[in-house]
């Protein structure tokens, strides 16, 4: 296993320590959360009682595979704690998410959680957001017009996401536009402007949502940001 993968595993295990009996847990998506799912499955196997609300079909499948009880957002009153990864995170806990295309459901689950904690390796920790292209989820109808409107907000490039030569379709039937800003000087203002575009469903900027973050380093160290 590479040292980066070990860093992801460490932080996934660390997050599983936060799960207490009878909690409802929001479960994020991606290669870092994968390790959290394994650690949580181990705790459940050893007798812990809890249930999880998945943030994607991929996560739901993994949960079922590892015998973690699944609930849907509509079936719970609230979520005690959500653990999720990020593509970029700043010291102010501003995030870019959606590299895996799950941003819409991830944001809805996070918004209904009492606590939202991020797990990430050191490569995700940045001083300013924007080097990672910002994922934006859009309605397929008229997506080219939506793309033009985003380009007017100062992007150097906007790309329709594809996978294996086909347009990538999200779990909710939408497209993803990856927006290259290079550096996002004012994430709050950009978020507001993007959310005003008709046809745009959700933005991969998560601002003022995370309560804390575990950042893991390849030397085995874990730092907590809050």
Ligand X SMILES: O=C[C@H](O)[C@H](O)[C@H](O)COP(=O)(O)O
Which residues are known catalytic residues? 106
Reading the block at residue 126, the tokens are 């940045």
Nearer to ligand X, 101 or 147 (CB): 101
Instruction: Point out which residues pair with 206 in neighbouring strands.
Output: 95
4 binds ligand X (CB under 6 A): no
Which residue in 15, 60, 87, 116 binds ligand X (CB under 6 A)? 87
- Count of residues interacting with ligand X (CB under 6 A): 17
Which residue in 85, 130, 133, 187 binds ligand X (CB under 6 A)? 85
Q: φ and ψ at 148, to 5 degrees?
A: -60, -40
101 binds ligand X (CB under 6 A): yes
Nearer to ligand X, 26 or 28 (CB): 28
C-alpha–C-alpha distance, residues 205 and 1, integer Å: 31
187 binds ligand X (CB under 6 A): no
Was 171 annotated as part of a binding site? no
Return the HEC string of the chain.
CCHHHHHHHHHHHHHHCCCCCCCEEEECCCCCHHHHHHHHHHHHHCCCCCEEEECCHHHHHHHHHCCCCECCHHHCCCEEEEEECCCEECCCCCEECCCCCCHHHHHHHHHCEEEEEEEEEHHHECCCCCCCCEEEEECCCCHHHHHHHHHCCCCCEEEECEECCEECCCCCCCEEEEEECCCCCCHHHHHHHHHCCCCEEEECEECCCCCEEEEECCCCCEEEEC
Q: Which positions ≥6 away from 3 have C-beta within 8 Å?
A: 218
Q: Which of residues 10-49 bind ligand X (CB under 6 A)?
A: 28-32
Which residue in 37, 89, 103, 129 binds ligand X (CB under 6 A)? 103
102 binds ligand X (CB under 6 A): yes
Nearer to ligand X, 62 or 86 (CB): 86
Nearer to ligand X, 48 or 111 (CB): 111
Q: Do β-strands 134-138 and 157-160 pair in parallel, antiparallel, or remain unpaired?
A: unpaired
Task: Find the shortest distance in angstroms from Cβ 101 to ligand X.
Answer: 5
Q: Which of residues 55-84 bind ligand X (CB under 6 A)?
A: 84
Binding track, positions 141-180, relative to ligand X; x by CB under 6 A: ----------------------------------------
Task: Find the shortest distance in angstroms from Cβ 77 to ligand X.
Answer: 25
**Interaction site with ligand X (CB under 6 A):** 28-32, 84-87, 97-103, 106
**Binding site, annotated residues for substrate:** 29-32, 84-87, 97-100, 124
**Binding site, annotated residues:** 29-32, 84-87, 97-100, 124
């Amino acid at each position: 296993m590479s040292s980066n993968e070990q860093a992801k595993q460490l932080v996934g295990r660390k997050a599983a320590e936060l799960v207490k009996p009878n909690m409802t847990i929001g479960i994020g998506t991606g290669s870092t959360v994968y390790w959290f799912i394994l650690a949580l499955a181990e705790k459940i196997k050893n007798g812990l009682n809890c249930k999880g609300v998945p943030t994607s079909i991929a996560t739901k499948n993994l949960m079922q595979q590892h015998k973690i009880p699944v609930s849907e957002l509509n079936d719970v009153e609230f979520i005690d704690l959500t653990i999720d990864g990020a593509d970029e995170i700043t010291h102010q806990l501003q995030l870019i998410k959606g590299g895996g295309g799950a941003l819409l459901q991830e944001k809805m689950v996070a918004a209904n959680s009492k606590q939202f904690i991020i797990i990430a390796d050191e490569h995700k920790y940045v001083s300013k957001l924007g080097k990672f292209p910002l994922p934006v989820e859009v309605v397929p109808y008229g997506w080219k017009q939506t793309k033009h409107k985003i380009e007017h907000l100062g992007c150097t490039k906007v790309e329709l996401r594809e996978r294996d030569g086909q347009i990538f379709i999200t779990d909710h039937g939408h497209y993803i536009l990856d927006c290259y800003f290079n550096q996002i000087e004012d994430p709050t203002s950009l978020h507001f402007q993007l959310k005003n575009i008709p046809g745009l469903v959700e933005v991969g900027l998560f601002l003022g949502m995370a309560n804390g973050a575990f950042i893991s380093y390849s030397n085995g160290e874990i730092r907590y940001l809050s």
